[in-house]
Structure formats: C-alpha cells, structure tokens
C-alpha cells in the first residue's frame, strides 16, 4: 500500500465543489502522518483548468469526451483501476449525491472499508483518527483509520475549505479512460432549480426557519423579521416538504448553497444535509432550544432561547433600530 491519499475532485458545470476543498484539507492531515502525497483525481473533458488553485501535490486526470458529463460507470471503473494500480492509503470523496454513489460502489466492489460522513481527520499517537457524524449530526463517532486502503466520504464543518486551496499549480498527469461497454446510466439533461421570486443565493442576510417554527402561521413572523433586516427567508427541508415555502427557498444538499454575510437559523437542527448548503456563511447565528443541536457546531453566536418568544422581541428591536 502506498502512503498517498487520493481525493476525488467533484465538479459540476465548471465549478469545483466546496466539499472537494474540505476533502483536500483533510487529505493533507493524513498525508502529513503517512509521509505520502495528496493526489487529486480529476475526471472530465476540458476540465483541467479546474485543477488550478487546488492544494494537491499532483493531479491524475482523464480528459475524454466520454467523461464530459458525470458517468457513474466510467468514474467508478477509473477510480477502481487507480486503487488497484496505486493502492493509495485512502480515497476521499464528498458525501454528496455523486460522491456517496461512487464511494459506496467502490467500497462494495473492491471490499474496502468505508468511513462515512467523516467530519474531521486528525493525527494522534501515530494513528490517524477519524470522526464521523451520525444520527443526523447529533452523535460523533471517533475511530482509528482502518489499516488498509480506506474509502472516506467527507461532510462539511470540520475542515476549512481555504486549507484546500493553494497558490501553486499542481502538475497534471493525463491518464487514459478505462475501456468498458455502453454506460448503463447516462445524463439526459440538467434540470435547473426553479427560480423563485427571491434568489436566496444573492442575499446578504438570510433568516432560515426549520421545523422548530412549528406552525405555518409562525412563518409570517420569520418573514417579518427577514424584511425588517432587509434580507430574505429560507428554510430547511421539512418546511419545504410541508409546502410552507417554495423549494427555491430550500438550503442544503438538495437545495441551494448560500453564502450570506449573516445566516440566522431559527429552529434548525443543523443536519449535515442542511449545513452543506450554508457552512460558508460569514456569520451564523443559531436559535435552538436544544443545546446539543449540531447547528451550534457551525454557529458563531447562539442562544438556547425559544424562537417563538424571541421572534416578536427581535422584530420590535430591529424595527426600532431601523427607525432610529
């Protein structure tokens, strides 16, 4: 087994996913312990420009029209071939729809251990320790990285995306696409997220509501606060599933990725699928009655107040400050 750490460079429509930067940062922690290199694996067509700025020691890349759109068969075959030939110490993916699909298939096909929902990697006493988030982010489980090639799927929150960036361009080695028959799954078309009246990705201030808002009539209160702050309302998935807000206002893995200056999370637990969409907000303020809610792990400020008590007071104070 080599000491190198492979990182799958996830990209969509010309943009590298932020979870890839987080994975590169985590890979560096492992590589410092093993003495190996961080190797980015970039698959696609005409995408080698995306490697600029990534904190890898080198990049292995397929540049082939067949890899132009995400193809699970091709991607899995390529990564399985690389694991066979290069036997990296670990292969890191984002715990995204794409990353989780590939990581799970590779683990099953090659019989490799899979560390899922990995939040943090750290070196301790000659060991590499991995901390995973389970039960919707409420429980952290720590273990030693198994002593074989390991597949790891990363969630955001533990490592900083900036640590996955670099000013120096890593050398790129182009590798051939593996031969295989007709792909069983092929991309037919992209479905653009519906554009609502409000584009929450462009707002500086977002008031996010979760299941803690409890009743549909309380949504109005949160809307009033958002307006008083000059921002917009967004929500976690249960609010969208109830039909209380349109899906264009959902934040997270299946919703939008937002980076406002202020993200005020009201009654949002902070499940990894939600955090994935808002972890890059400049300032996160959490209001949640449960002190163990994982939203407090990503919040800069927080209170265990009941949001229904807090909202009317906050609205009055913000309006008074605005009037003043």
By CB under 6 A, name the binding residues for ligand FAD. 136, 210-212, 236-238, 250-255, 267-269, 271, 273-274, 277, 287-290, 293, 306-308
Min. distance of Cβ 59 from ligand FAD in angstroms? 29
Question: Residue 187 region, left (φ>0) first, then alpha (ψ -120 to 50), else beta?
Answer: beta
- Residue 6 or residue 119: which is nearer to ligand FAD going by CB? 119
CA–chain centroid gap for 240, Å, is 20
- Residue 6 or residue 237: which is nearer to ligand FAD going by CB? 237
Min. distance of Cβ 39 from ligand FAD in angstroms? 29
What separation in angstroms does the CA of 234 have from each of 223, 239, 290?
9, 9, 21
Min. distance of Cβ 206 from ligand FAD in angstroms? 13
Q: Longest C-alpha distance within the chain, in Å?
A: 69
- Residue 97 or residue 127: which is nearer to ligand FAD going by CB? 97
Min. distance of Cβ 231 from ligand FAD in angstroms? 18
- Residue 225 or residue 250: which is nearer to ligand FAD going by CB? 250
Min. distance of Cβ 277 from ligand FAD in angstroms? 6
- Residue 87 or residue 97: which is nearer to ligand FAD going by CB? 97
Tokens matching residue 309: 């008590």
CB-based contact 206:258 (threshold 8 Å): yes
**235/256 Cα distance (integer angstroms):** 10
């Amino acid at each position: 087994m080599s000491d190198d750490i492979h990182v799958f460079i996830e990209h969509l429509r010309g943009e590298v996913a932020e979870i890839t930067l987080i994975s590169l940062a985590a890979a560096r922690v492992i590589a410092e312990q093993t003495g190996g290199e961080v190797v980015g694996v970039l698959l696609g067509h005409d995408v080698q420009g995306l490697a600029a700025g990534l904190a890898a020691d080198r990049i292995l890349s397929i540049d082939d029209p067949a890899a132009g759109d995400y193809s699970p068969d091709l991607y899995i075959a390529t990564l399985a071939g690389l694991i066979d030939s290069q036997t990296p110490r670990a292969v890191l993916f984002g715990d995204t729809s794409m990353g989780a699909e590939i990581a799970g298939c590779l683990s099953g096909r090659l019989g490799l251990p899979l560390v899922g929902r990995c939040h943090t990697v750290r070196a301790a006493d000659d060991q590499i320790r991995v901390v995973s988030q389970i039960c919707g982010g409420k429980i952290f489980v720590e273990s030693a990285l198994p002593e074989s090639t390991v597949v790891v799927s990363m969630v955001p929150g533990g490592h900083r995306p900036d640590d996955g960036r670099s000013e120096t361009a890593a050398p790129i080695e182009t590798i051939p696409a593996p031969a295989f028959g007709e792909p069983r799954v092929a991309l037919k078309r992209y479905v653009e997220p519906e554009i609502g009246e409000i584009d929450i990705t462009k707002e500086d201030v977002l008031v996010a509501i979760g299941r803690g808002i409890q009743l549909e009539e309380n949504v109005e209160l949160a809307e009033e606060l958002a307006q008083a702050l000059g921002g917009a309302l967004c929500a976690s998935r249960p609010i969208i599933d109830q039909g209380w807000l349109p899906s264009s206002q959902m934040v997270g893995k299946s919703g939008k990725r937002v980076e406002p200056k202020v993200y005020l999370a009201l009654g949002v637990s902070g499940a990894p699928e939600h955090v994935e969409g808002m972890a890059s907000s400049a300032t996160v303020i959490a209001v949640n009655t449960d002190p163990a809610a994982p939203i407090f792990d990503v919040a800069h400020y927080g209170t265990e107040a009941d949001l229904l008590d807090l909202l009317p007071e906050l609205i009055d104070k913000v309006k008074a400050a605005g009037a003043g």
